[in-house]
């Protein structure tokens, strides 16, 4: 601890994750609905995934997840924010990217739909509606909440000061 004492803690060591706030020309974000067993319910989320390919740059993980989960690719990418998901119990660090200039994509050849992805629902939601869903507690996934709030702030600043994707 900060005072030199020791305590016992359970810690989940995590490889990291990415999320993608994909925004179309009509200011709608791409959201997916999928089942999350630990909370025993379906959640509305951003396309996201674990950094599970060794030495893959974060932006490439984000591109892959957007193609796999939403069947989309983006012509313009920025880094929207970085945060620790649950620093009291996990080392998971999340990077959320802003993806724009969306178009259809073919998921990677080796991608196999399984687990939570078997019944994904993909929907485009106006950014203002997504913000209202965060504020009312209808959107509770941490990556989605953080990404939506960061996008609202960035849009309010006319998308200035965005970080490059790499």
Check 56, 60, 117, 129 and give the catalytic one.
117
The strand order across the sheet containing 28-36 reads: 41-45, 28-36, 121-126
117 flagged as catalytic: yes
DSSP string for 21-88 = EEB-TTSEEEEEEEEEGGGTEEEEE-SEEE--STT--HHHHHHHHHHHHHSEEEEEEEEEEEEES-TT
The DSSP H or E segment spanning 5 is: none
Torsion 144-96-90-50 (CA) sign: positive
**Do the beta carbons of residue 134 and residue 51 sit within 8 Å?**
no
- As annotated, the active-site residues are 117
């Amino acid at each position: 601890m900060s005072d030199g004492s020791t305590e016992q803690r359970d810690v989940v060591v995590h490889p990291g994750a990415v999320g993608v706030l994909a925004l179309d020309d009509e200011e709608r974000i791409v959201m997916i609905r999928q089942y999350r067993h630990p909370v025993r319910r379906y959640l509305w989320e951003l396309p996201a995934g674990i950094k599970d390919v060794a030495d893959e740059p974060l932006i490439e993980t984000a591109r892959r997840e957007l193609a796999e989960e939403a069947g989309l690719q983006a012509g313009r990418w920025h880094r929207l924010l970085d945060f620790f998901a649950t620093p009291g119990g996990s080392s998971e660090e999340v990077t959320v990217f802003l993806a724009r200039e969306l178009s259809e994509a073919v998921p990677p050849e080796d991608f196999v739909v399984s687990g939570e992805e078997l019944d994904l629902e993909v929907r485009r939601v106006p950014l203002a509606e997504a913000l209202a869903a965060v504020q009312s507690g209808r959107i509770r996934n941490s990556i989605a909440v953080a990404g939506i709030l960061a996008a609202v702030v960035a849009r309010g600043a006319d998308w200035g000061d965005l970080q490059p994707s790499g």
